[in-house]
Structure 1
């Protein structure tokens, strides 16, 4: 009897919960099968005359747009066929495929209309994925896409818009001569020409671009000219250029335009600075002192040196430096965190603000031993190379993924044991990286992630420095007693004759 009076075991009164890990995948797969088989479909969506039989429940679960349509008492909730406006049929087919499968297929041809459709249908994942794809493409691009700029402006895709503007400013002369330039809105035009970073060497170039834009549709655009003119920096124009502008036929067509120009000339605008391209045709990195917080540049056009103080304290670690093809300057600072790891800090020089800005901070594995560090850029991707002076004599290579903020491991290069300390140079030339010594030459192909051995020079005692010009690489020894040149296309070396 005593046993009968005891409390039941806890497990008998408290139910346990079990989660079927495969349920969601199986459920989604079954729903997809029902859609493919045309079973239990209760609504037809019509886009551009093409009919898409669907399930109201599935559409409502996937999209707030459809949930409001089918549950909010709208007329569409009672219709067997619902016509959708403002969508492309093939794009909607891809959207529907995503809703039923969870898989999205994106290409650069479809990313913009997919984003537009996702924005309408309130599909956050599709919209965010398209945004990431556009950002990745524009970050890697060196070409200006005004269509993408206009799209990013309309839909407020800020990171894409910022990068597009950088490319437009840097390549303004090319952009202003394109057909697409004339399709910009007045707000987009003024946004572009108002920036200090505009890549022009003469302010008259900006006026000529504005004239071209107005004349493309003069009847509709001439009245915008008075609001555009204050963004042109008349203080930077020569007297001849100013006189030519005042005599231009466009100015004569509206007395108000001439009045605006004279007011701007009379009052000036102290807020507006010289364009970046006007004051500096080219800036070359000259030298970095590891014991100083200054960096020196040279402006070849003016024959002047420029000093930049980039932080209160010098970089703590040994820094690798590179100038990229789009004229950006990067410094990679390494700092020991432990015996196994080090911190990698990537800084980018802001030409306009004259400061260094941190663009990436990450950790990476560390190896003991002395080493030489290199930083390169190929096709808008940064590569970080280390030549370790350890018994193994290996060269370690990483590339920077700016979207994940991590340095990814690439193929390592094993050197011959006979290679001597200090007898090496590394650089990028065309689409490849090169590692050179007096007895070895290796080429890295980023598309294949592979090193290959090339013809060794054999005509110089030591390779101390190297520079690439076009498809050729010029190498010298420590005291510039010998200079040799390597043709990367023919894989041949020759010694240059020094004339006194």
Structure 2
């Protein structure tokens, strides 16, 4: 141990001599002796550089995670440039994803105007830019050029081919041709004129033209319903059943990847399938089978199985009929599912459970208990259970730092504040009249608003059923009926209803919008 510490100290001294801050030296030395690391925005990049030099993997990974979790308009460009220089691929992808998703707002910022011409052209060439119209990209380029017009105007002819003029209307194109920047630069005028006359070979719309939706599955076919009741959008897509074998749970990751947990009926093997947005198909994610990492007795009698993501890591949780819960996390570097610690329950008799990611933790809820998992420490701790001991939870969802749950009848709705470890009650189903729930309700979040979907029937005729969707008005503490018009089919959900940004232009032409 002593020779190792001496070697590390020598390396730390070398690091300081190479020009790194003495505070960084002290922080690393403190970490080596105590195992405690203090990270902040003002020193995280310096810490990463020193950890990279010393091959302190934990410090380096912690710095990457910290930067990825603190991406915002004021930090994104700086981290984007840092990740590019130091080839931090994980952080670079997160920066690109953040810019793609927030491009419209981001393009008005000083940070956007600080991009180099190469960085600008790289960004506006992305299929994934989340813009409603291509004019948004053109207007962003205009602002970038005008920020330093004399230096940047000569670059305009090389930038313009990355704007998809084929997606513009003739009026939009005519207005651009009359713009002062174009008129001042004959080269730019000729570039656009050629696009107009010859046509743009790249006619694809931006993949990022998205609408937030949740997915329901049709009982009687391979169809999926993509829905956003608040916007009145309901799109049905047909898939081969072989592409989605025995789906048990669905999760949407922070970078908008949609995964489903599947089970082969013959082999009982657990696999993960991933949705390919551009092709509108489901494909095997190429991960090693979860079942290979489980003991035989564990995966034969599963009561509930869950797939969740925290900080870009996938976790699989399952419980058997005896109330034993075990968990695995996926290591993408080794393509292995690694064992994690297990929560310990006081009461193992329950029928419902939910595994919910609420960054940076995972919460596991049963009717009588709440447990929180800290991925960094691989440790579970017990939280405060719902004070309503008779509340039979049937559905739960996370919005911000709060967990919402309700019972089968939608008569008791509770919210748990993860930061204060406290519960409070919300209003339930308003004025059901002669209607009652006839299916398990599903809470979900769309556009940062809490929703609930269920099927209800009438006392006088239980065969007469209808889909009901309510949205919660937090300021008034009331639920409002959206008068949803879902297609008249029998639907079910995979685990939680997770919102995803769906790229509408890439849904196949045979798909039907109701």
Name the TM tier (shorter chain).
Answer: 0.5 to 0.7
Name the counterpart of 1:251: 182
- Residues 97 and 255 of structure 2 are in contact (CA less than 8 Å); yes or no, is this contact kept in structure 1? no
Closer/same/farther in 2, CA of residues 409 and 131 from structure 1, 3 Å limit: closer
- Residues 323 and 330 of structure 1 are in contact (CA less than 8 Å); yes or no, is this contact kept in structure 2? yes
Q: How many residues align?
A: 408
Name the counterpart of 2:431: 498
Name the counterpart of 2:215: 285
Please tell me whether residue 374 in structure 1 is matched to residue 298 in structure 2: no
Q: Return the offset for 1:402.
A: 4.6
Alignment counterpart, residue 329 of structure 1, candidates 249, 258, 274 = 258
Which runs of 5 or more structure 1 residues have no equivalent in the other structure? 1-21, 37-44, 53-86
Please tell me whether residue 358 in structure 1 is matched to residue 290 in structure 2: no
Normalized per residue, which structure has more helix? 1
Name the counterpart of 1:394: 324
Name the counterpart of 2:510: none
Alignment counterpart, residue 319 of structure 1, candidates 236, 244, 248 = 248
How well do the aligned residues superpose, as a CA RMSD in angstroms?
4.5
Between the aligned partners of 1:216 and 1:160, the Cα distance in structure 2 is 28
SS at match of 2:301: coil
- Residues 328 and 349 of structure 1 are in contact (CA less than 8 Å); yes or no, is this contact kept in structure 2? yes
Please tell me whether residue 222 in structure 1 is matched to residue 153 in structure 2: yes
Q: Return the offset for 1:472.
A: 5.3
Between the aligned partners of 2:414 and 2:348, the Cα distance in structure 1 is 24
SS at match of 2:412: strand
Please tell me whether residue 192 in structure 1 is matched to residue 123 in structure 2: yes
Name the counterpart of 2:449: none
Please tell me whether residue 166 in structure 1 is matched to residue 97 in structure 2: yes
Between the aligned partners of 1:232 and 1:118, the Cα distance in structure 2 is 40
Between the aligned partners of 1:311 and 1:143, the Cα distance in structure 2 is 40
**Larger-gyration structure (1/2):** 1
Which runs of 5 or more structure 2 residues have no equivalent in the other structure? 434-514
Closer/same/farther in 2, CA of residues 294 and 30 from structure 1, 3 Å limit: closer
1:87-486 aligned within 5 A: 88-90=19-21, 112=45, 126=55, 136-137=65-66, 143=72, 145-278=76-209, 280-287=210-217, 295-298=224-227, 303-307=233-237, 309=239, 314-315=244-245, 319-333=248-262, 345-355=271-281, 356=283, 358=285, 360-361=287-288, 363-366=292-295, 367=298, 368-390=300-322, 393-402=323-332, 405-414=336-345, 416=347, 418-419=349-350, 421=351, 423-428=352-357, 433-437=363-367, 440-444=368-372, 446=374, 449-458=380-389, 462-469=392-399, 471=402, 473-477=404-408, 481-486=409-414
- Residues 292 and 314 of structure 1 are in contact (CA less than 8 Å); yes or no, is this contact kept in structure 2? no
Between the aligned partners of 1:33 and 1:188, the Cα distance in structure 2 is 39
SS at match of 2:200: coil
- Residues 466 and 476 of structure 1 are in contact (CA less than 8 Å); yes or no, is this contact kept in structure 2? no
Q: Return the structure number with greater relative CO, CA threshold 8 A, min gap 6.
A: 2
Deviation digits for residues 74-127 of structure 1 (CA, Å, limit 9, x no counterpart): xxxxxxxxxxxxx635389959x99xx9xx9996756655777999xxx6x649
Normalized per residue, which structure has more strand? 2
- Residues 114 and 127 of structure 1 are in contact (CA less than 8 Å); yes or no, is this contact kept in structure 2? no
Closer/same/farther in 2, CA of residues 351 and 141 from structure 1, 3 Å limit: farther
